[in-house]
Each structure stands twice: as C-alpha cells, then as structure tokens.
Structure 1
Amino acid sequence: MSDSTVLVTGGAGYLGSILTRQLLDDGHDVVVLDRFLFGDNALAELRDDDSLTIIEGDVRDEDVLEDAVSRADDIVHMAAIVGDPACSDAVDEAIETNLDATVRTKQLAAEHDVSQFVFVSTCSVYGNSETGSMLDETSPVNPVSVYAQTKQLAETSLLEEPMGLDVTALRLATVYGLSPRPRFDLVVNLLTKMAVEQGTGTIFGGDQWRPFIHTRDVARGIRAVLDAPAEDVGGEVFNVGRDDENYTMAEVGKLIDDAVPEADVTVDETVSDDRTYRVTFEKLREATGFVPEIRLPQGIDEIRDALETEAIEDPDSPLHLNHASGGKEVE
C-alpha cells in the first residue's frame, strides 16, 4: 500500500481534505475528484505538491469519473450529498450521487483493476435503535432519513456484488472537529460555535445517544483499513469510533458548558429526536488495532479556541454549511 496511488472522491471536503493531507504525508500519490461545491480553499496550499492530482468534476459525470478511477490503485469513496436536510431537499440528486454514482464507481474500479475500495458510510444507518443496547455491525439497521437510506443501500450494493474488489464499508460515528473546510452544521461544532458567539445553545430531546469521532481520527481510521491485509478487511463492514465516546446529547451539552463556562446550553425535552444509537467499535479495533486518539472534550476545546482566536476566517460563511438552514444538526 505504501507506493499506491489513492483516489479520494470528495477529497476537498470536510473529511477528504484531512485524509488527502495524511495520505500525502504517508508518501502516497493522491488523486482528488471533487466538485468544489464549497470552494477550493481546503486544498489551495497543496496545489503545487507533485504527488497530488486534482480533478474538478462531479462523480455523476462518467467520463470524469473514469478518468479519475483509471489513475488509482486504491479508492476511498467519500463524495456524497451529506446530511439529512441537504438530502431531503434534493432527493433525486442524493440518490444519483450517494447511491448510483457509488455503484458506478465500483464498476469502473473493477474494470480498471483497482485493489481496495473503501466506502465511507455512517452510523446513521442504525437510525432509531429501540433496544438501547450497544450496536455492532450485525445489528439491524433502521435508517430514518434519505441520507442514511442512500448510504445503507449503497453499502448493500457494494458488498453483495464486490466484482472482484476488496470492498470495505466504514460506518462513521457522528463526526465533529476542525478541518481545512470547516463545518458548523454538525451538532458539536454548531453548539460550540453558538456557545462562544451567542452564549447559548439548545439541545432537543437530550436523552438520545450518539457515538462521536474527531475529523483527524476519521482519516486515521481510513488509513488503518488501507494499510490492513485484504483478508482482514475485504468484504467487511466496520463501525469507526471508540466505545467510550458514546454520549447522550444532554452529556454533550454539559461538556460544552464546561468548555465555555459563560455560556448556557439548555435541553428542550418537549422536542424529541427519533435517532438514538449506542455503538461498539470492537470489530475494527481487533482487525486493525485502530483506536481513535482524540476525546470529545479535547475536540470541543479545539473548536472553542479556534473561534475565540479568530483562527477560522468568517465562521458564519455559508461555505461552512452543507445546507442553507445551518440552524440544526444535519447528521
């Protein structure tokens, strides 16, 4: 894997821009395919890197997609319409991008003898877990949004017909943290921003469970899978996170209150959230040794410090939102 060329679809995005950097640091050649829907600043400083090829285009454009796939030894497929509101507002585009283009990328990968195909999915596929117990990769899925449904359907298609590829699906815990392409429509990032800027914030429900993972740890987890022997990860689904980073949303609010003492993050119990899931990540740890390093309080402190020191240029920019509403969590 050390000398491989890795295609990262969506490589200029919130997570992709971090993974691209880590792969380059590992010594890989990297090909990025991205629409640059949220601008090109996330990769601007890397454009002169001889190990990086940037292709501006849409994964739904088959000619562009095949050009990108033909350059790769391995693929990390991250390109997607991400988040519940964004997908609900553009259902056809979400299906075309999150499902149809994913299937076509796999087909082209098989035609071009790609080795590993890593698909980035989400723990949102668990949706509303009625059992209250820790969920593993064999637990029933119950996606309650268009976003989660398209991801779950794409997982099924990839794994039922791998076409000779070593396909791995990664269900990410709820992501938070800083990035070269910041996002402030994710629940931890949004609530921390509101606490710093407005001194307030509201959590709806409070008793619902979520697992959390930092942006940099997501990239580390993907690299761990790319580096693992194919027989250990091929044809498998893995949850990506750590067991002791499951929190109720009320607990998340308390952590943000602790990090921004002058703020008051409240819980509105009159509004419920159908999504609740606690997840175990033992399978990935046993297969690859991967354990996330960054804990939620540390990540909250990083976001707070970046906002207070104005390290993030124009944090209120619409470019930092995956959906124009920006006023609620999207994953």
Structure 2
Amino acid sequence: MRVLVTGSQGYIGSILTTRLIEAGCDVEGLDVGWFNDCMFQQPPNGYVLRRQDMRDVAVDELIGFDAIVHLAALSNDPLGNLDPDLTMRLNHEGTLRLAKLAKQAEVRRFIVSSSCSIYGKAGDALIDENAQLNPVTAYGKSKALIDRDVSHLADAWFTPVFLRHATAYGVSPRLRLDLVLNDLVASAFLSGKILMLSDGTPWRPLVHVEDISRAFIAALKAPQEAVHNEAFNIGSTSENYQISELADFIRQAIPDATIEYAPNAGPDLRCYRVDFSKAERCLPGFNPQWTVARGVEQLLSAYRTRPLTANDASGPSFRRLARLQQLGAQGLIDEELRWTEPATEEAFQYSPSGEMTK
C-alpha cells in the first residue's frame, strides 16, 4: 500500500511513519518544515520526504497513492488561537481542498486526524460519536467543520475516515510539551512542582501517541465497509481523567513532587468524558496498549536519559506556538505562516543552547 502522510515531521507523524514502514507500507511524507529541527530524539528515516506546504499540493502529485493520512494542521488550542481566521483557512479549508484533490486523483482512502476537542463543553456525562459537537476553540471548531464537510465527499470510490483522538501524550522524536501530561511530567521532573493551569476539575481523555498510530494503521488496513465515512473516537474509556488525577499519577512516580496551582487557575470550558467502545468494537485490529501510569514512567525515563533541560521546557523547540512565533519574529515565515524563502533540510539548525542559527 502506497501511503502519503501529511505533517510527517510532527509529533504524531514522527512515530506513525516508522510504524507504517514496519507494517509494510510504502510511505511518502509531506511536511512544510516548521518543526524540522525540533528534535528530542533522533527522528526516523526510511521514507521519502517532500518539503511542501499542503496548501500548494496539485492533483497530479497525489496520483498513485492508495491512501492519505492527513495529520498536517495548526495542532492545538493555543496555536489555533494565534489567528482563528488563519486556523480555519489552513485546517478546514486546506483539508477540504486536499480531500477534493485526493478524490480527483483517485486516492481511495482519506484518513483525517480529528480530535475529541470537537466535543468541547460537554460536562461529566460519557459521550460517544453521536454526541452533539460543542467546540469552544478555533482549533476544535475547525476540526468539527472538517468532519462535516469532508464526509460529503464520500462515495463508492472515495472513503473518508475520521479519527477523533483523545489528548495525546508520550515520547516522540519531535516531542511536544504543550500537551497536558507531557508538560506536567516535565514540570515535576525539572522543578519538583506539578504546575496546574486549571483548577483540576475538567475531564479529559488521554491516549498515547503509539496508540494513535495503531489506530491509523487499523483504519488503513480495515475493509472499506468497516470504516467508510465513519468517525471513531480513539482512546480507551478507562483513560478518562480529571486533570487533578493526572497530578496524582505523577506524584506516585515522583513522591516528593508538590502540586501548585497557577494564580489564575480556574475551571476550563473544555470538559468532556468520551466513550471509545466503537473503535474497540468496529475498527478491526485496534487495541490500545498504553495507560497514563505507564506513560508517566516512559516520559520520566526519556527526560532522564536525554536529559530534558530548563531551556527545553521554556524554549520554542517543543512548544508549537512559541516555535511559530520565533520563526515569525525572525522574518522566516509571514503572516500566512508561509516561508519567506525556501526551506530545506540544511537551511535551519539548532545550536546546543536551542537557539536557531542559519
């Protein structure tokens, strides 16, 4: 199977490309290169990488692929709020355009990286894929519109699939510290303090990046009738937690860590508990392996081995919004997040201090 992975140099893509190759797929990556050098570990090799903005893809460049796994996006709430209109144009309009081109190019399967954030303000009740969508951020709204509009393209020859994954965590070659569990563990590791940015009451489901990758592979390999134009919540029902419970897991691994609340910590409108039984029941081969407790141990081990530094935690390498703000401040990307000059593998490198040099 020949598979194109957009956003192949992102947090999920850096894991998924390797897992696809291991699963016997012929993989090509497409990535704009914003996070090319934001490396926590040695990134994977073994696939062809096309340096390109997804907004510039032409239909003839998609001919010959059996499937597209679409990860490329402005990928979390703070980043989406940088420019809500741009988030809608890039995430929603950019994805819809790419899906239309894929259909024209006779790509049979188009798998979208969606998000449980589309449920938004949902409260304490357990909700499934049929729940009302109530996103409260630009990122969540863009994902809800993608699910709605790309689904209209489905026909006997074109199969969209929507994987609404829970909040991701876990070690990746291109780590993110703007994800709640990764960030809380980093804070405890570096300072002995688990810094809570909310009051700890919101519910949030969590899923390891490896299990997200398992879901994409399952959606690629599944018979068409099992996944055609279907949305699947990706995670485990048992892995819904209030944010305060995540702090408890971390204290089990770092007993001396203390829990501190930011001065403006309060309730978070994003509160949702998600039922993941449909994927476990209807997505052939999908079987989540990770738990938050195990993920905390993995993160701590990785932070000790590298080791993670205070510069890592506060700098732009592992925080998406800070990285794009850095590139903008240096004049390397414009207001539309396009490179002001061609980006190549050799164009940007990081010094040991984490500062970008050219």
TM-score, structure 2 as length reference: 0.84
Alignment of 1:210-221 (within 5 A): 210-221=204-215
Helix, strand or coil for the counterpart of 1:252? helix
Residue matched to 2:349? none
The one-letter code matched in structure 2 to 1:156 is R
> Which one of the candidate residues 265, 268, 273 is aligned to 1:273?
268
Residue matched to 1:123? 116
Q: Is there any run of 5+ residues in structure 1 with no aligned partner, and where?
A: 327-331
Residue matched to 1:324? 322
Shift of 1:45: 5.6
Shift of 1:271: 1.2
> Which one of the candidate residues 63, 66, 88 is aligned to 1:70?
63
Alignment of 1:19-168 (within 5 A): 19-40=16-37, 46-47=44-45, 49=46, 52-63=47-58, 66=59, 68-130=61-123, 132-163=124-155, 164-168=157-161
**More moved, 32-41 vs 148-157:** 32-41
Task: Return closer, same or farther for 1:188/1:67 CA change in 2, 3 Å cut-off.
Answer: farther
Residue matched to 1:10? 7
Residue matched to 1:329? none
Alignment of 1:188-203 (within 5 A): 188-203=181-196
Task: Return closer, same or farther for 1:290/1:276 CA change in 2, 3 Å cut-off.
Answer: same
CA deviation profile, 1:120-174 (whole Å, cap 9, x unmatched):
10000000114x2211000111000000000100110011232541111010001
Helix, strand or coil for the counterpart of 1:70? coil
> Which one of the candidate residues 298, 301, 308 is aligned to 2:304?
308
CA deviation profile, 1:274-304 (whole Å, cap 9, x unmatched):
1111101111111124221011011111111
> Which one of the candidate residues 170, 174, 178 is aligned to 1:181?
174
Task: Return closer, same or farther for 1:40/1:54 CA change in 2, 3 Å cut-off.
Answer: farther
CA distance, structure 1, for counterparts of residue 137 and residue 64 of structure 2: 34
CA distance, structure 1, for counterparts of residue 167 and residue 78 of structure 2: 16
Number of aligned residues: 317
Helix, strand or coil for the counterpart of 2:50? strand
CA distance, structure 2, for counterparts of residue 75 and residue 227 of structure 1: 13
**More moved, 270-279 vs 4-13:** 270-279
Note if 1:285 corresponds to 2:280.
yes
CA distance, structure 2, for counterparts of residue 167 and residue 251 of structure 1: 35
**More moved, 236-245 vs 298-307:** 298-307
Shift of 1:270: 5.5
The one-letter code matched in structure 2 to 1:176 is Y
Shift of 1:41: 6.4
Helix, strand or coil for the counterpart of 1:144? coil
Helix, strand or coil for the counterpart of 1:24? helix
Residue matched to 1:297? 293
CA distance, structure 1, for counterparts of residue 241 and residue 268 of structure 2: 15
CA distance, structure 2, for counterparts of residue 150 and residue 266 of structure 1: 33
Q: Is there any run of 5+ residues in structure 2 with no aligned partner, and where?
A: 325-358
Instruction: Give the share of equivalent positions with the same residue, in percent.
Output: 35
CA deviation profile, 1:199-257 (whole Å, cap 9, x unmatched):
11222121211110001110011111111111011110100000100111111111111
The one-letter code matched in structure 2 to 1:85 is P
CA contact (8 A) 2:14 2:44 kept: no
Task: Return closer, same or farther for 1:67/1:90 CA change in 2, 3 Å cut-off.
Answer: farther
Shift of 1:315: 3.0
CA distance, structure 2, for counterparts of residue 195 and residue 71 of structure 1: 48
The one-letter code matched in structure 1 to 2:136 is V
Shift of 1:92: 3.1
**More moved, 102-111 vs 263-272:** 263-272
CA distance, structure 1, for counterparts of residue 143 and residue 29 of structure 2: 21
Helix, strand or coil for the counterpart of 2:194? strand
TM-score, structure 1 as length reference: 0.90
Residue matched to 2:330? none
Helix, strand or coil for the counterpart of 1:324? helix
